[in-house]
Amino acid sequence: MLSKLECIILGHLVRTPMAGYDLHKWLNQEGPFFGYSPQPSQIYRQLNKCLEKGWVDLVIDQRTTGPDAKVYRLTDAGVATFKEWALSPHEPTVRPLDSDFQMRFLLTGILGPEVALRILTTELDYRRTQHQVKAYSDDVNPDDAAIAVDPAWHKELVRLGRERSYLLGTTYLTWLELTHARLTEQIADFNTAGSGPAREIA
């Protein structure tokens, strides 16, 4: 099973070769969207492990300004490892706004709208079911509480929390529904026109 950093590195290098320094700069900007902001030492350590596993090789980029850079690019084995992860089943997490889906959708979706739709459909089905689950209870017995609790305030507090959960869940579910419809339409258009970019996903 790949670590999150391995997924991110393979998923980005499949797009373009990159030096470790440039990869770190990219992760500083995009990492928070993936729920991950590693230190430079972690990135270089992981790149060395990818070298040992044969997933990447490197070339020396002689630069006119500054020191030469080691540029990492995926090998055939690295591409195969990325595809194996990209095409494996998506397993939604309990938290609706967890970054795992965002990372997987953006990084593996490069293989084509069919792959993106497959991941999104799994997420959508899970969130539809989750959205029907009753929120936590607002029942409280002041006599059992370890501190003084105002039952009326507790009920209001729970209501506010439910409203937040409902609005966040509804907004996310709406985005999933709209994106599902958009991807489905795009795939149908590609199939009808017989055009569009060639996509090798197997």
pLDDT in tens, 110-167: 999 999 999 999 999 999 998 876 666 778 888 888 888 888 888 898 889 888 888 8
Of 69-83, 101-115, 123-137, the least confident? 123-137
In this structure, which amino acid lies at residue 86?
Answer: A
Average pLDDT, the chain: 88
pLDDT value of position 180 = 97
Percent of the chain residues past pLDDT 70, beyond the cut = 93
Given a contact cutoff of 8 angstroms between Cβ atoms, the answer to whether 17 and 92 are in contact is no
4-86 has which CATH code? 1.10.10.10
**What is the C-alpha to C-alpha distance for residues 71 and 62, in angstroms, rounded to an integer?**
10
pLDDT at 9 over 70: yes
**Based on the number of CB atoms within 10 Å of its own CB, is 100 exposed (0-12), middle (13-18) or buried (19 or more)?**
middle
Name the residue with tokens 């055939």: 76
Domain spans, the chain: 4-86, 99-193
pLDDT value of position 198 = 44
Closest CA to 36 of 121, 113, 100, 119: 100
pLDDT at 196 over 60: no
pLDDT in tens, 16-34: 999 998 899 998 888 887 7
pLDDT value of position 101 = 93
Considering 63-72, 93-102, 151-160, 171-180, the range whose residues carry the highest mean pLDDT is 171-180
